[in-house]
Amino acid sequence: MTPTSPGGAPVSAAPRRTVLVTGSTSGIGEAIAAAFARDGADVVVNGRDPDRTKAAAERIRAVGGHGEVRAVAADVGSAEGVRILTDAAPDVDVLVNNAGIFGARPAFEITDEEWNLYFATNVLSGVRLTRHYAPRMVERGWGRVVFISSESAISTPREMIHYGTTKTAQLAVARGFAQEVAGTGVTVNTVLPGPTLTPGVEVFIADRFGDGVPFAEAERRFIAEERPTSLLGRLIRPEEVASLVHYLGSDGASATTGAALRVDGGVVNGIIP
């Protein structure tokens, strides 16, 4: 039986969309991919390591939903890796530029090679992928692009200014692309998570406070000593970030574009990004 609206008119089924989440083998990326998969979307899982990427796709497939979940291993920090990914998935409806790297390093010890690596991975990956996918979205009259930035974009961390700089650059890149696709049905936004409990952050915090400190205590000390403005008082969970990204990838977010939206637990001491 064809479903109808209260007035009797036929209601067409919502289209099943394809979602690509880069860097989705763990943490925030995996949580985002799982949220879309649970909602019935076809999901492309991406990571650099083939085995990890396949394993993540299997976990995401297990969350439910009726869409296809595919694994595409490619290092999007390089032009060749982007080509491999776009060849495997030529068109998507929702692009989530999540791939990124971070790490602590004294400012004067960051080498040119590290600066170039951070920029290529955290900024150019999203530029290249958006440059490929967004024009195709424009042709279809619908699409969503989301850059996963960080609260470090507007509050540069002293211990990793190379990371903070690339996250700031993402804000300008996303705004620029949003202006380019204005009025086409395609939106481009940036999400700014605060410190989030991912495997990488867990290692990062353990390194800063020592292996002998229980993680719950290390988490408490990290927030109290290094992110004391947090209103949440704890690390954010990946699923909390994924909820906002899932909204931005939906029809309901049609009027939100060119924006930087915080899911930072109140770490940034301000009322606008």
Q: Is 197 helix (H, G, I), strand (E, B) or coil?
A: coil
Q: Among all chains, which residue has been given the structure tokens 């990571």?
A: 47
Q: Are 28 and 198 in contact (CB under 8 A)?
A: yes
What is the distance in angstroms between the CA of the first residue and the CA of the last residue of the chain? 48
Could you tell me which residues are beta bridge partners of residue 107?
Answer: none
Q: Which amino acid is at 262?
A: R
Q: Are 154 and 201 in contact (CB under 8 A)?
A: no
To the query of whether residue 163 is one of the catalytic residues in this protein, the response is yes
Q: Phi then psi for 83, rounded to 5 degrees?
A: -60, -40
Distance CA 252, CA 270 (A): 27
Q: Are 194 and 208 in contact (CB under 8 A)?
A: no
Catalytic site residue from 118, 133, 163, 247: 163
Q: Are 94 and 185 in contact (CB under 8 A)?
A: no
Q: Which residues are catalytic?
A: 163
